Structure 1
Amino acid sequence: MHRSRNPMITTLLSLRGNGRASVYTEPMWGLSMMLVLPYASVFMLALGVHDAQIGLLATISMLSQVVFGLLSGVITDKLGRRRTTALFDVIAWVIPCLVWAFAQNFWWFLIASVINGAWQVTQNSWDCLLVEDVDRAEIPKVYSLVKVAAEFSALFAPIAALLVANLGLELAVRILYLNAFLIMAVKIWLLYRFTTETATGRLRMEQTRGVSIWRSLWEYRSVLGLIVRSKGTIFSLGISAIVGAVTLVNGTFWQIVINQRLGVPDALLPFFPMVRSLLSVLFFFTLIPLLTHARHLKAPTLIGFGVYLAGQLLLVAIPSPDGAAAVSTYLLLAVCLLLDAFGAGILFMLAESLVALHVDRNERSRVMAIQRTAVMLVTAPFGWISGWLSGMDRTWPFLLTSALLVLGLVVAGRFWVTTHEETQDAAT
């Protein structure tokens, strides 16, 4: 009797070309940036950067991303998906890693944040490289695989914990940033080596040859009209903005609240994203495919917002211990990780998939550039706001994210717009 294979595994094994190269190189994040990200905010605190300044850096980084995001569509069309990805990955990750490795104060982090904003260009070009030659029906599974690949990277977290335990926080983090500099350079080369320019990319390069960047930016007017006239595009933009704001706040202050308020020691910090990531991988191979295998994505989106909301509220409710974290603290944090792993995982996949499913195929790079710019403009203030809130009470940023997730429930429940696949399925 033939046993059916897990759809995620089927997609993973059947990937070819750019999709395979993009997905298969993603785990290298685990040996580079994912080793150091759990310590990024705590490292800044150790160097004398305050909560409000950390929040300000998050906002400045987002504003930098706005500028690069606006230019990303033009650059991606002019240089091509493949070349843009390689060039701007170097600018956005390799160079800032050196700055972070030798950082001394707020100003070093400010410079790195501004340069790092260039990752919005490569996010656009990489997305196009990933999905333009992939069957539309496979897009949600491909984004799930991307998320799984990133989550698997957390398996390397004990390396960072050992370094911090033996060398101390500051020296260990500097070494981890230098390691990220080297690994990211290798990842960029491998992706460039094993990809080719997409068919749409070659067409757009030909169409924009001899056209100045300023003229291309001026032509955004017609693309803006495509977005404004598309209810689906506007809806997916709103979902992305909410998810993006929650991700920004959590990525900046989650480690700080468990370290400074709940008494979790420095050496244990990377184990929390590791556990969250492993749980997320488990969900992506079990529960999430069951919820998202159909073409109708409204119910799983609502479930994702609801579960993520429960995790944020529980984090706020955990009592602050006297001194080091108690056993009960770790048990409650474990439940938070369980809820966050499912909620954040499914919402990331759905937010990215909804954008890709609603976008105009022929104008993908420019439409996605404008969408990301709009999303970043909306989410940028939340870095500064959450830093200001954290300076008064370290649980308050998560009351803010809870309010945003409630808004997400309302938007998804009240204003849902069906995708092309859902419409075709209903007609059938």
Structure 2
Amino acid sequence: MSVGATDRSRAAYACHPSQSRGRVYPQADSASRTAFQRDRDRIIHTTAFRRLKEKTQVFVAHEGDHYRTRLTHSLEVAQIARTIARALNADEDLTEALALAHDMGHPPFGHAGERALAECMKDFGGFDHNAHTLRIVTKSEVRYAEFEGLNLTWETVEGIVKHNGPLITKARPESALNWGITDYSHWRELELDSFASLEAQIAALSDDIAYNNHDIDDGLRAGLLDLDELAKLALVGRTLDRVRARYPAASGEIQVLEMVRELIGVMVDDVLKETRKRLEVLQPDSADAVRHAGNETAAFSNDMLIELADLRRHLFANMYRHYKVNRMMAQAERVVKELFELFTADPGLLPTRFRKQAGDPGSTELARLVCDYIAGMTDRYALEEHRRLFTVQGYF
């Protein structure tokens, strides 16, 4: 087996579209696109994907035009993921599809919205954005006459659910699965006690690379991070020193942008080096060999993990928990909780298409319906809906 060739051929350990396990509803092959290309295209055309342009990454979407949203973040993840997939001879289209889909289940207001919905849903099966992505692609996106959802291939659905690793482990039994998973009638076929494909693992790592770097960029732009303090971190400091030595006459803004660009490259190179090393040891002869390897095949090196942990601690302390972000997120959580409480108490306030499906106040059926409705909201729509329902002048 040749590991690391740079041509467009797929390695034996890659997912091959011609060998896909298929779709729940069989469909004829396309003459112009592989099965994974069709999955990617279906994801891009969803309403849920378009809504990501108005969903928070760190800053509420309307806080500024230059900060990342879930949509721009997903595009950056996809670009990085394709680069890594190509270098490793994995399937680029499946990797891109998973990168584009990975955040579609996020509710408004990012992790603050997710925390709020998880709290609201604690007696009704909980809330998890990955499980909600599964609901979107298998149920709630209704775009086709012959089936609910997108009817994606098994490999894409598996990667959506398992890109962060197995969901069933010794420490996490089947009974702990989120209802968004178990409500999918084919969930057992996804082999939730194994790892996902190499393509899914690449998408997950690309997510880490993208948000670590664009959060530095956005945090500096917002004035929440201090460059001199960031430079005390070994990974950032080394990179910034190289950039300043290479471009001493460049403005501080350009130096920061060059630093972020180079950091992405450093992290990508680390993933490629470590993953190639693991592939050489494992010698997988199929995609299933990667799934059953017993640990991640695509990974950062231990040295990089240590430096990334330092970076994450710094971002957490100085950006994610900055008082300005805390205030914004506290307001966001209150908006989500108040909407949930109001709709579950009075389902007659729901839009018609949801009201027709509503159960009785206090029922699990109603709670899950309201959860679906709120999770699909953009930041802007959630704020407008809250204003309409809690401010009298909203309708007058």
Greater C-alpha Rg? 2
Q: TM-score, normalised by structure 1?
A: 0.28
Q: TM-score, normalised by structure 2?
A: 0.29
- Larger helix fraction of residues: 1
Larger RCO, structure (CA 8 Å, separation 6 or more): 1
